[in-house]
């Protein structure tokens, strides 16, 4: 018997997960259930996925599924789970898509339930995500293995402790945004020193980023190996890497401090929701 999989929330992450699962041979379309606060966003999905189950309420979805992905904002999770708690199957595996809500908070509502947290990256769209997972003590090996088997359609699945989900998210889920911001600055500053068209500058950088990533991956090189290969002693590249190594650490450290502080603020707001 196949697991029936439900997805609550059809925002950016819920939509990505639904689309991936709908195209995955391991999952039959008829075993997929979807619900969303704004029904208009999902009502026409049957045009593209004939066999899926579109639910008009979260309760209709919860009573039917064996694995439940909750893809809502951290301050909405409590209300959603409280609403459906009496409808969730006894052996249902609940998956939270937010690292800011802790297991002990989720367990106050969904007592004695299997709960995991999953953090994918936007790079799942091209099957190159590092998808982080963490499990509470009730999740069994077979549940972990099945979850991993379906999440591998996103890319690599990596299990880490709940306590490391914050920094893990910075290094995976947030990192494409950080990389985009860094290379936008590089492109903007390059434009001030050349007559090369901005679009061509970006193309040069993007192709080089892609090639560099592939080189690191295929050749199993470290960042230090790469720098030593390109920044030869007394050369032009070395001058640039010296500036980066001297000045960038302060900026990156500040970035991590800000993002981790923001994460703490969100977690404190969530904690207030679960006090009573």
- What is the per-residue pLDDT across 52-103, written as a single tens digit (0 to 9) for each? 999 999 999 999 999 999 999 998 999 999 999 999 999 999 999 988 899 9
How confident is the model over 151-177, as pLDDT tens digits? 999 999 999 999 999 999 999 999 999
Least Cα distance to 169 among 122, 222, 223 occurs for 122
Domain boundaries, the chain: 5-171, 175-273
* pLDDT at 25 (0 to 100): 83
- pLDDT over 90 percentage in the chain: 90
* pLDDT at 274 (0 to 100): 79
* Crossing angle (nearest 10°) for helices 198-218 and 223-230: 120
* pLDDT at 223 (0 to 100): 97
Residue 5 backbone dihedrals phi, psi, to 5 degrees: -115, 130
Dihedral, CA atoms, 155, 156, 158, 164, nearest 10 degrees? -60
Q: 136: helix, coil or strand?
A: coil
The two three-digit tokens of residue 105, written as one number: 């908070």
DSSP bridge pairs for 6: 33, 68
* pLDDT at 139 (0 to 100): 97
User: Strands 129-135 and 114-119, how do they pair?
Assistant: antiparallel
Flag whether the pTM goes above 0.95.
no
Dihedral, CA atoms, 37, 43, 44, 45, nearest 10 degrees? 70
* pLDDT at 2 (0 to 100): 84
Least Cα distance to 101 among 263, 259, 276 occurs for 263
β strands within 110-217, DSSP E: 114-119, 129-135, 155-159
Give the CATH class of 5-171.
alpha beta
DSSP bridge pairs for 34: 7, 54
DSSP string covering 156-195: EEEE--GGGHHHHHHHTTSHHHHHHHHHHHHHHHHHTT--
Calculate the average pLDDT of the chain.
Answer: 94
Q: 115: helix, coil or strand?
A: strand
How confident is the model over 134-152, as pLDDT tens digits? 999 999 999 999 999 999 9
* pLDDT at 1 (0 to 100): 58
Residues 6 or more apart in contact with residue 187 via CB below 8 angstroms? 198, 201, 202, 205
What is the spatial distance between Cα 252 and Cα 179, in angstroms, rounded to a whole number?
A: 11
* pLDDT at 270 (0 to 100): 86
Burial of 55 (0-12, 13-18, 19+ CB in 10 A): buried
Residue 104 pLDDT class (50, 70, 90 cuts): very high
**CB distance 61 to 35 below 8 Å:** yes
Q: Is domain 175-273 in CATH 1.10.3730, yes or no?
A: yes
**CB distance 51 to 30 below 8 Å:** yes
* pLDDT at 99 (0 to 100): 85
* pLDDT at 153 (0 to 100): 93
């Amino acid at each position: 018997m196949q697991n029936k999989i439900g997805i609550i929330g059809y925002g950016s992450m819920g939509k990505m997960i639904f689309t991936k699962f709908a195209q995955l041979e391991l999952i039959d379309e008829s075993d997929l259930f979807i619900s969303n606060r704004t029904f208009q966003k999902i009502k026409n999905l049957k045009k593209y996925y004939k066999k899926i189950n579109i639910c008009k309420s979260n309760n209709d979805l919860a009573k039917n599924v064996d694995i439940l992905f909750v893809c809502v904002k951290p301050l909405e999770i409590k209300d959603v789970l409280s609403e459906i708690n009496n409808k969730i199957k006894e052996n249902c595996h609940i998956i939270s898509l937010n690292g800011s809500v802790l297991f002990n908070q989720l367990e106050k509502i969904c007592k004695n339930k299997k709960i995991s947290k999953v953090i994918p990256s936007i790079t799942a769209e091209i099957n190159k995500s590092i998808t982080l997972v963490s499990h509470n003590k009730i999740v069994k090996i077979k549940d972990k293995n099945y979850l991993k088997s379906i999440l591998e359609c996103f890319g690599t699945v990596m299990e880490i402790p709940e306590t490391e989900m914050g920094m893990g998210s910075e290094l995976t889920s947030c990192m494409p945004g950080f990389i985009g911001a860094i290379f936008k600055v590089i492109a903007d500053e390059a434009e001030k020193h050349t007559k090369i068209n901005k679009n061509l500058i970006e193309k040069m950088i993007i192709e080089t980023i892609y090639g560099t990533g592939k080189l690191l991956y295929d050749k199993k090189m470290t960042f230090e190996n790469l720098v030593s290969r390109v920044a030869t002693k007394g050369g032009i590249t070395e001058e640039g890497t010296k500036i980066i190594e001297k000045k960038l650490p302060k900026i990156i450290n500040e970035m991590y401090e800000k993002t981790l502080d923001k994460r703490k603020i969100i977690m404190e707001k969530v904690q207030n929701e679960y006090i009573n």
